[in-house]
Amino acid sequence: MKRLLLACCLVAASGTVVMAQNKAAVTSQDQKVDPKLMFASKVNELEANIARKDEQTAKSTYMQLAGMMQTRIGEKQRAYDASNSDAERKEIAKQRKQQEQLYIDTKNLYPTIGTSGTEMVKKMREFLNVY
């Protein structure tokens, strides 16, 4: 009788574990991440890599940031195209031009990231202000 009771308890307990494992996991789509915060986080990561003098990781982080910058510039272009008022278009064009210039500046600093890293971080933070 005790064995039967023990077996029933084990079966019931294993069933609850299986049900918990089958529960849907949280995906990245469920948790929306603010792109501006993600960019700021990557800039901090770049700054830390430069401070550690880890040039390879800094270059890798820069490439991720460059992709984020290109995406943002593209979003500004789409916002410009969708805009109806001239004043709004003028403001968006001004911001996009600033972003494009900062992108070019950081791209030019990329080959010398070991020596010009702090300048690059400064430009990235300026880009963040115009984000």
**Tens of pLDDT along 66-91?**
999 999 999 999 999 999 999 999 99
Tally Cβ neighbours within 10 Å of residue 58. Answer: 24
Token readout for 22 is 């089958």
Helix then strand count (H, E) for the chain reads 5, 0
Instruction: Say if residues 42 and 61 touch (Cβ distance below 8 Å).
Output: yes
Token readout for 59 is 């270059």
pLDDT tens readout for residues 40-67: 999 999 999 999 999 999 999 999 999 9
